[in-house]
């Protein structure tokens, strides 16, 4: 009996040993792949930090001024993008024709607080995108301060009619992710004018979407409802909002004067700009990386979204520089008109859906500024989102040495989100968000506000993800 038990134990030990050997072989194979990918990603970062071109490309792009859709500067940026991609000896470079809105600010806005004792003080405002202008002699009216759209119904037409509604809900500072803070108050900007008009307001002012206190008003998109009167709407700086709020408590009958010269012109012709490297094994499987070429007319759109544009171009440049031949097609898309219409993204999605000869694997968007990289967010239909998230999580150790640790399921980007119904993995690049809203849609968003090293680290991070997606797919 003892001999039988001993023999059985030996068999079990032998079996365990064989299984361990097989497991070791599998681990060894995985480790070899990991080491290969680790070396390649290191090479990507080294190449970008030593020879990167995105910072100088951004300097050139921003030197052409702001790039509001429909403007001469936006048209110049399209030509700049096409010329840049053609200079890189890519497999193909082409334009996609679109029609875009053409709103113009006109002569600079003027505003002042007029106190009941006759004193006047100028304050800075900027018209929100798409706003109508004021009459030639401007608008003067009393001000009623509110802290959200829901306050309007409580006040009613009796207290609002004939006045300027002043939305003064600040971005909530306790949100660590500043985009959450932005989302918590941007409804005032987007729909505040039409909501105020429902109760007879003659204009609306919106506290700028900015966490810090400064004197720079931040513009941005807003939309009118067809069922209400279109009234002028403008942003006031955070310092200006604080001051106006304080003065209203001391002088409830003060008036606000504003003069705006903006107007909407007929739609204009523009383009998405596209360049690509064909995949060596799966040319019909496409990985898109893109940002938006247009910007608001405040500043020169360095962070929003010049950074995303030059990082997207840089992915192609890195692959070229290192002699990497992607297994799947890598396509850089410079989307036009994200800021006030998304016409470029809609056109791209329409054409992608109609093209039965290729399949989009993933679409990556960089549109959160040129700050230090932190990670990626994944979106899409439930099936592809979960699949992509699982795949990216399996690569997290490869990103750890570069401070990239934030991998989550969440919003990807405004432009690539138009592809959501096509079963494509949508990925948003996540840089550090703490300083983004110091610049967003303001005169401060210029080239000198972008850090060269942070911009390059972001480009290398995205290129590393594209390398892995191209090699392994989903």
Instruction: Decide if domain 107-261 falls under CATH 3.40.50.150.
Output: no
Superfamily of domain 40-103+266-472: Zn peptidases (3.40.630.10)
Q: What is the dihedral of CA 32, 38, 40, 44, to 10 degrees?
A: 180
Q: Hey, what are 26's tokens?
A: 């599998």
> Measured between alpha carbons, how far is 472 from 328 in angstroms, rounded to an integer?
9
Q: Is the Cβ–Cβ distance between 266 and 138 less than 8 Å? A: no
Q: Hey, what are 318's tokens?
A: 């890195």
Average confidence (pLDDT) over 274-290: 98
Instruction: Determine the pLDDT at residue 29.
Output: 52
Instruction: Determine the pLDDT at residue 450.
Output: 98
pLDDT digits (tens, 9 = 90+) for 338-385: 999 999 999 999 999 999 999 999 999 999 999 999 999 999 999 999
| CB-based contacts of 173, cutoff 8 Å, min separation 6 | 181, 211
Edge-to-edge order in the sheet of strand 328-335? 92-104, 263-277, 328-335, 282-292, 359-365, 425-431, 373-379, 406-409
> Measured between alpha carbons, how far is 63 from 78 in angstroms, rounded to an integer?
14
Q: What is the DSSP-derived secondary structure letter of residue 223?
A: -
Q: What is the DSSP string of 132-182?
A: ----TT-EEEEEEEESSTHHHHHHHHHHHTTSEEEE-PPPPTT-SSHHHHH
Instruction: Determine the pLDDT at residue 23.
Output: 41
Q: Please give the positions annotated as active site.
A: 338
Q: Is the pLDDT of residue 42 over 80?
A: yes
Q: Is the pLDDT of residue 4 over 50?
A: no
Q: How many residues belong to the chain? A: 474
Edge-to-edge order in the sheet of strand 255-259? 120-122, 110-114, 255-259, 139-146, 164-167, 203-207, 233-236, 125-127
Compare 271 and 30 and report the one with higher pLDDT.
Answer: 271
Q: Which 3 state secondary structure label does DSSP give 113? A: strand
pLDDT digits (tens, 9 = 90+) for 218-263: 999 999 999 999 999 999 999 999 999 999 999 999 999 999 999 9
| CB-based contacts of 395, cutoff 8 Å, min separation 6 | 37, 465, 468
pLDDT digits (tens, 9 = 90+) for 6-39: 444 444 444 445 444 444 433 445 689 999 999 9
Domain ranges of the chain: 40-103+266-472, 107-261
Q: What is the DSSP-derived secondary structure letter of residue 109?
A: P
Percent of the chain with pLDDT over 70: 94
Residue recorded with tokens 């990497």 = 324
Average confidence (pLDDT) over 122-144: 98
Band of pLDDT at residue 467, cut at 50, 70 and 90: very high
Average confidence (pLDDT) over 192-208: 98
> Measured between alpha carbons, how far is 219 from 183 in angstroms, rounded to an integer?
15
Instruction: Determine the pLDDT at residue 31.
Output: 80
> Measured between alpha carbons, how far is 6 from 49 in angstroms, rounded to an integer?
62
> Measured between alpha carbons, how far is 457 from 463 in angstroms, rounded to an integer?
10
Phi, psi of 199 (to 5 degrees): -105, 15
Instruction: Determine the pLDDT at residue 170.
Output: 97
Instruction: Determine the pLDDT at residue 30.
Output: 64
Helix (H) or strand (E) holding 375: strand 373-379
């Amino acid at each position: 009996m003892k001999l039988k038990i001993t023999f059985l134990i030996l068999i079990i030990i032998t079996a365990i040993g064989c299984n361990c050997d097989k497991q070791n072989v599998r681990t060894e194979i995985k480790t070899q792949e990991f080491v290969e990918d680790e070396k390649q990603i290191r090479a990507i970062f080294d190449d970008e930090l030593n020879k990167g071109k995105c910072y100088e490309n951004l300097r050139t792009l921003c030197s052409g001024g702001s790039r509001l859709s429909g403007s001469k500067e936006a048209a110049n940026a399209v030509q700049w993008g096409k010329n840049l991609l053609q200079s890189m000896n890519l497999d193909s470079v082409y334009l996609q024709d679109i029609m875009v809105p053409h709103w113009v600010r006109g002569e600079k806005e003027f505003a002042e607080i007029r106190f009941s004792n006759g004193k006047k003080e100028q304050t800075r405002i900027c018209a929100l995108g798409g706003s109508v202008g004021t009459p030639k002699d401007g608008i003067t009216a009393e001000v009623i301060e509110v802290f959200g759209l829901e306050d309007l119904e409580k006040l009613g037409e009796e207290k609002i009619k004939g006045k300027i509604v002043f939305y003064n809900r600040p971005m909530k500072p306790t949100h660590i992710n500043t985009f959450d803070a932005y989302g918590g108050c941007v409804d005032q900007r987007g729909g505040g004018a039409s909501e105020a008009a429902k109760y007879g307001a003659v204009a609306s002012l919106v506290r700028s979407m900015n966490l810090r206190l400064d004197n720079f008003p931040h513009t941005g998109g807003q939309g009118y409802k067809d069922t209400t009167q279109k009234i002028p709407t403008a942003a006031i700086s955070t310092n200006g909002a604080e001051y106006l709020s304080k003065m209203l408590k001391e002088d409830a009958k003060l008036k606000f004067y504003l003069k705006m010269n903006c107007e909407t012109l007929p739609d204009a012709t523009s383009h998405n700009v596209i360049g690509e490297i064909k995949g060596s094994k799966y040319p019909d499987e496409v990985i898109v990386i893109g940002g938006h070429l247009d910007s608001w007319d405040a500043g020169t759109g360095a962070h929003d979204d010049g950074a995303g544009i030059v990082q997207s171009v840089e992915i192609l440049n890195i692959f070229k520089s290192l002699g990497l031949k992607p297994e799947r097609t890598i396509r850089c898309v410079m989307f036009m008109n994200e800021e006030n219409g998304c016409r470029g993204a809609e056109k791209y999605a329409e054409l992608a859906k109609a093209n039965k000869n290729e399949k989009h694997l993933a679409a990556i968007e960089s549109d959160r500024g040129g700050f230090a990289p932190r990670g990626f967010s994944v979106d899409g239909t439930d099936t592809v989102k979960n699949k992509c998230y699982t795949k990216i999580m399996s690569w997290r150790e490869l990103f750890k040495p570069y401070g990239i640790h934030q991998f989550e399921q969440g919003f990807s980007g405004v432009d690539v989100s138009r592809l959501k119904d096509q079963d494509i993995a949508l990925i948003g690049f996540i840089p550090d968000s703490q300083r983004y809203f110091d610049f967003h849609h303001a005169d401060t968003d210029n080239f000198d506000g972008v850090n060269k090293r942070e911009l390059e680290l972001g480009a290398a991070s995205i290129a590393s993800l594209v390398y892995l997606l191209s090699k392994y797919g989903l």
